[in-house]
Structure 1
Amino acid sequence: METLLEFLGNIPWWVYLLLILVLLALRDISQKKHTIVHNFPLVGHLRYFIESIGPEFRQYIVANNREELPFNRRQRSWIYASSKKENNFQGFGTDQDMHTAGYNFIKPALLPFKLPEGHPNIANPYICPSAKVIGEYHNRKHPYLPKSVINISGMSFGSLSAPAIEALNIGAAKFGAYHNTGEGGVSAYHKKGADVVVNIGTAYFGVRDDDGNFVMEKLVKLCKANPAIKMIELKLSQGAKPGKGGVLPASKVTPELAEIRHVPIGKDIISPASHSAFSNVPEMIDFIEKMADATGLPVGLKSAVGKLELWEELADLMKKTGKGPDFINIDGGEGGTGAAPPSFADHVSLPYVYAFSSVYRIFQKRDLTEKITFMGAGKLGLPDTAIMAFAMGADVVNVAREAMLSIGCIQAQVCHNNTCPTGVATQNKWLQSGLDPTLKSERLYNYLKTMTKEILEICHACGYEHPSQFMMDDVDVAMGDNNRTQSLRTTYQYQKTPVKFEGFQKLLDNPYLGGKGEH
């Protein structure tokens, strides 16, 4: 035996390596599952390796600054630099093709707005509350004035990791933004100080019985136990997969997640495509009013947009009865934190600009736009796109993927595989361990600060004090025909209803700022 061990010990290491490669080659040749590997043993494995790192490979080596989607290198670099407090400027002019159809031009004033002495933005250039109080028109018990026009969109615990949710909440709390829970329910990681918006989807996670039916008593109890909850958002659909439910595999259903969502351990979690608490628009309005009456909180809708008949019916009933949602959150079809089949993600529902303009016009025709807070989501987390949204009528902008980028996401596009290399969108404990909530929350805070500061600077350049003052004639769109441009008003065939704005100090003195009110 010792002789055999001595003999094996004297064999060079490369012989063992060669033997392993020969065995692997024989295995490749004998299998029939992968033709490339069978026909080209050993070398064929490179094809699958290169394919697996394709998105990362292209974004760092192959693609230019403007090619990539969903977010190109230029956009990601601005977010990364802003979140790290690095130099986010650029030199030598723009590298964007300004004649491309759809390119936005924001029109500066001949003389910019000059901050008067004592203006709040002199002491703090990052303050920018919303100009509308949510829930005031419907006389909710606890109206809410968001402390920021830029807030965190709905991303669930379960879809995102615990450290990622915690980082988002801590960063949002430090800045003053609210944090939407996503439909996965309120977790311990949502309780780090930020204002919270509870998102209620078709599965009613966290406020359901054993059969998946909505339970009002659970919602009331949840809101009473968590004073940070300021609003309720009823999700009808989302941009990534409107009209389609979701599945969380049983392997991802940890005891913690099962307790938060009120679901059994060891079974796939299935979100239905539609709500069971109502089946038509009148019933939906009744459901909204019951939640608002029971909790005292403003209640709104989140939806992607396609057919408009039911939006027309909703607006007609709101006009007739004075009841309905306190806010409407339009999610563009380009949204995408939720995993979805390509056919849904690519083709089902309208992009943000078409979706928002279609819905806004419906409510404007009925003189309802001043009574509702309009929110928007869908790649609006950059100053120029946010300004466009404000000019079209949005009062608040919600950011999701941009917030993920600020805390470390590299756009690997493997959110649906549970293999996110940065620990943001995975339940793998090892991958999560590299995400430090204390550090990453600071990165989100820096991103929100920079985003808000640049929005305000563009406001001032255009002669305004607050982004709510932007109108549709303040932004032109390149049409791609003989380098012609036209305003948002001409392009989308309406003019935004002016928002009542009486100055920053009025907003900061509002008793409902941050949901103070009667709390």
Structure 2
Amino acid sequence: MDQLKDFLASTPWWAYVLVFLFIVFLRDILQKKHTISHNFPVVGHLRYLLETIGPELRQYIVANNREELPFNRSQRSWIYASSKKQNNYQGFGTDQDQSAAGYVFINPALFPYKLKPDHPNLKEKDLVPCAKLMGEYHQRRRPFRPRSIVNISAMSFGSLSARAIESLNRGAYAAGAFHNTGEGGYSPYHKKGADTMLQIGTGYFGVRDDDGNFDIDKLIKLTTDYPQIRAIEIKLSQGAKPGKGGVLPASKITKEIAEIRHIPMGQDVISPSNHSAFTTPNELLDFIENIADKTGLPVGFKSAVGKMELWEELTDLMLERNIGPDFIAIDGGEGGTGAAPPSFANHVALPFVFGFAAVYKIFQKKGLANRVVFIASGKLGFPSSSLMAFAMGADLINVAREAMMSVGCIQAQSCHTNTCPAGVATQNKWLEMGINVKDKSERSGQYLKTLRKEILEITHAAGYEHPCQMTMDDVDVGMGDNNYTTTLKQAYKYEKEAVSFTDMKSLIECPHIGNIQKIEDQVS
């Protein structure tokens, strides 16, 4: 043994390196799985290394500030600075190509809107409630006016980590926003103060029986036990993968997730592409009315947009039966917090502007536009994009990936691998531990506040008190190489319906406005 220790101590370090490289060499030439490492032993591994770290190299070294997708460096920097309450300004003018097709221009008024001495926004510069009251037309027993025009979109516990969900929920409470639970059930991390919108997906997680069917009694109990659930959203489809369900592998199902979702341990759980509780527009309306009647809450649905025939049928039935959803969330095909096949994420469903315009025109044609609260979703978490959506007829903005960035997401695009380095989209406990809930909740709340404040500032520059007053003549879009612009009205061939609005003060004084309970009264 002493002789072996002496031999090892006297052997130079480079000899160990040579032995290691020789072993790798033998392994490479003997294996038949990887052609590159077989044909180029040892050095072939450099190719795999560069391929692995290529996205990081491009993100931080190669790409300029405006090149990356889905969010470029300038957009991410604005979110990070806004969430940290840092300087989010830029100097020396714009660095964007303003002649590009689709570029958004907000048309300012000659004289901006002037706040009166007693105006609420002199005290709270970011306070902007929804101009419409959810459930008003159908006279729901518990109507809801969201206190914030910007809210957090559907992201489930399971898809996101517990600490990420809790940070978003606490941030939403601080900002007066609501938090959509996603289809994974109502977890303890959604119960930290914020108003919540409970999403029901095709798997009916959290409100299902032992056979996976929808259980109305469980839903009634849930909404009774937790009054901070202010609305219910039925998920028909999402922008990332419309028409496709998902699978939660048995290996990822913890005891906690199983209890929240009401699913068994030890077996894969499949989210079907279709609902079992309804299959037609008529049955969807019955499903909505049953839930609204039993819970008293506003009920709506979320959908990506493609074929329009069933939208026509749905609106005809709404007129005929005088019933329907209290809100509709239109999710653009550019959305993408959920893991999805590239063929779906890249090519299935219309982008937000085209999909929303198509749906809104049908509702406007039937005289239904002001019966519904329209929620816009799909990369709209920036002031100009949000105001374009308001000008087109949206009443609320839901943000997802932007909210993830506010709690630390670095766009590593590893959401589907359970290896998110920021601990946001993973169930890896070690990675998740990197999230400081107190710090990240403050950042997510501050991002929502900053976004609302800048939306409101541009609204005032356009001469209005509230974003709901924006019209399609107030926004121009670039038409490409001819350097001309055209209004949204000219581009999409409609003008949105005027929204009933008196003043900001009347919205704030509404008895059904959200986020007015003390946090200790809401937290379970």
TM-score over 0.5 for the alignment? Answer: yes
In the TM superposition, residue 481 of structure 1 has moved relative to its aligned partner by: 4.5
What is the match of residue 6 of structure 1?
6
Distance 2:323 2:508 in 1: 28
Distance 1:497 1:239 in 2: 25
Q: How does 1:379-418 map to 2 (within 5 A)?
A: 379-418=379-418
What is the match of residue 29 of structure 2?
29
What is the match of residue 76 of structure 2?
76
What is the match of residue 443 of structure 2?
443
What is the match of residue 235 of structure 2?
235
In the TM superposition, residue 132 of structure 1 has moved relative to its aligned partner by: 0.4
What is the match of residue 191 of structure 1?
191
What is the match of residue 279 of structure 1?
279
SS at the partner of 1:185?
coil
What is the match of residue 311 of structure 1?
311
Say yes or no: does 1:159 pair with 2:159.
yes
In the TM superposition, residue 17 of structure 1 has moved relative to its aligned partner by: 2.4
In the TM superposition, residue 516 of structure 1 has moved relative to its aligned partner by: 7.0
What is the match of residue 291 of structure 1?
291
In the TM superposition, residue 36 of structure 1 has moved relative to its aligned partner by: 1.2
In the TM superposition, residue 289 of structure 1 has moved relative to its aligned partner by: 0.4
- What whole-Å deviation, never above 9, does each CA across 1:115-159 have from its counterpart, x for those lacking one? 111111101101000000000110101000000000000000000
Distance 2:47 2:273 in 1: 37
In the TM superposition, residue 43 of structure 1 has moved relative to its aligned partner by: 2.0
What is the match of residue 244 of structure 1?
244
Distance 1:215 1:112 in 2: 52
Q: How does 1:363-512 map to 2 (within 5 A)?
A: 363-512=363-512
RMSD across aligned C-alpha pairs, in angstroms? 1.2
SS at the partner of 2:74?
helix
In the TM superposition, residue 7 of structure 1 has moved relative to its aligned partner by: 1.8
Distance 1:381 1:516 in 2: 24
Distance 1:472 1:55 in 2: 39
What is the match of residue 15 of structure 1?
15
For the 8 Å contact 1:145–1:515, the answer to whether it is kept is no
Partner amino acid for 1:69?
Answer: L
SS at the partner of 1:426?
coil
Q: How does 1:103-142 map to 2 (within 5 A)?
A: 103-142=103-142
What is the match of residue 350 of structure 1?
350
SS at the partner of 1:441?
helix
- What whole-Å deviation, never above 9, does each CA across 1:324-382 have from its counterpart, x for those lacking one? 10001000000000111111000000000000000001111111111110001000000
In the TM superposition, residue 409 of structure 1 has moved relative to its aligned partner by: 0.5
SS at the partner of 1:121?
helix
Partner amino acid for 2:347?
Answer: H
SS at the partner of 1:413?
coil
Q: Which runs of 5+ in 1 are unaligned?
A: none
For the 8 Å contact 2:360–2:369, the answer to whether it is kept is yes
Structure 1 length-normalised TM: 0.98
Distance 1:3 1:486 in 2: 86
What is the match of residue 176 of structure 2?
176
For the 8 Å contact 1:253–1:265, the answer to whether it is kept is yes
Structure 1 ranges of 4+ moved more than 4 A: none
- Count residues with an aligned counterpart: 518
For the 8 Å contact 2:99–2:481, the answer to whether it is kept is no
In the TM superposition, residue 81 of structure 1 has moved relative to its aligned partner by: 0.8
Gap change, CA 1:515 and 1:282, over 3 Å in 2: farther
For the 8 Å contact 1:55–1:413, the answer to whether it is kept is no
For the 8 Å contact 2:177–2:515, the answer to whether it is kept is no
What is the match of residue 267 of structure 2?
267
Gap change, CA 1:297 and 1:515, over 3 Å in 2: farther
For the 8 Å contact 1:239–1:303, the answer to whether it is kept is yes
Distance 1:53 1:511 in 2: 54
Say yes or no: does 1:255 pair with 2:255.
yes
Distance 1:512 1:451 in 2: 24
- What whole-Å deviation, never above 9, does each CA across 1:196-238 have from its counterpart, x for those lacking one? 0001010100111122110000111111111110000000000
Distance 2:326 2:140 in 1: 9
Partner amino acid for 1:399?
Answer: V
Distance 2:330 2:138 in 1: 20
In the TM superposition, residue 57 of structure 1 has moved relative to its aligned partner by: 1.7
Distance 2:28 2:423 in 1: 33
Distance 1:280 1:53 in 2: 47
SS at the partner of 2:371?
coil
In the TM superposition, residue 59 of structure 1 has moved relative to its aligned partner by: 1.4
- What whole-Å deviation, never above 9, does each CA across 1:272-301 have from its counterpart, x for those lacking one? 000000111111100000000111100001
For the 8 Å contact 1:197–1:231, the answer to whether it is kept is yes
Gap change, CA 1:232 and 1:494, over 3 Å in 2: same
Partner amino acid for 2:170?
Answer: I
For the 8 Å contact 2:406–2:447, the answer to whether it is kept is yes
SS at the partner of 2:473?
helix
For the 8 Å contact 1:113–1:464, the answer to whether it is kept is yes
What is the match of residue 336 of structure 1?
336
SS at the partner of 2:234?
strand
Distance 1:14 1:297 in 2: 72
In the TM superposition, residue 89 of structure 1 has moved relative to its aligned partner by: 0.5
SS at the partner of 2:369?
coil
Tell which deviates more after alignment, 196-205 or 54-63: 54-63
